Amino acid sequence: MFIEPTVLSILIGKLRGGYFRNIENVQIKGWYLLIVAALIQVLLSLFKVSEYLLLFISITYMLIILISLINIKKSYMKLFLIGVILNFIVIFGNGGKMPVSISGIKGIHQETTLPERTYDIKHVALNKDTRFIYLADIILIPRPYPLPKILSIGDIFIMIGTYMFFQVEMKRE
């Protein structure tokens, strides 16, 4: 989800005369909370925690929302915030899991189930009981795109925010 906007934005940022060194000096208040949130999610995946999953996932999203809010003056943080909130709504509404469209999976693989991923505890197949379907992973980016995937509306906001992060920060004076 972050590869394409990052690579594309860095290339365009360089073509526009941006500087890599600006990325080294980005000031994000509360950045360490992002590390805490990522660490919690990694630990949840490594130990396949299912008990209290919703609680721990909610804590990580609250930390990310907090970071976005305390840095809201940066234009790209507004996009991150919208994307994170949209993803959090659907994940919270589905017990800590992100529903994924199986018909979308068929657009990428020939399988009719979610592919097994060793450390993925957050994704689940979309079904009739899924809440907030329109916010789930339902947007298919199929082949021949080299990195086919299924995204949510929230993911798209986060990807645009990632793109804008590099554009804004590389061109910063």
Q: Is 0.85 surpassed by the pTM of this model?
A: yes
Task: Convert the pLDDT of each residue in 73-126 to its tens digit.
Answer: 999 999 999 999 999 999 999 999 999 988 766 666 666 666 666 667 788 889
- pLDDT reported for residue 109: 66
- pLDDT reported for residue 149: 87
Lowest mean pLDDT across 78-82, 108-112, 127-131, 144-148: 108-112
Q: How far is it, in rounded angstroms, from Cα 170 to Cα 173?
A: 9
- pLDDT reported for residue 57: 94
Residue 130 backbone zone (phi > 0: left; psi -120 to 50: alpha; other: beta): beta
Lowest mean pLDDT across 1-5, 28-32, 153-157, 158-162: 1-5
Task: Convert the pLDDT of each residue in 37-68 to its tens digit.
Answer: 999 999 998 888 788 899 999 999 999 999 99
- pLDDT reported for residue 91: 96
Task: Convert the pLDDT of each residue in 14-43 to its tens digit.
Answer: 999 999 899 988 999 999 999 999 999 999
**Surface-to-core class of residue 58, CB atoms within 10 Å of its CB (0-12 exposed, 13-18 middle, 19+ buried):** middle
- What is the CA angle 118-102-136, rounded to 5? 85
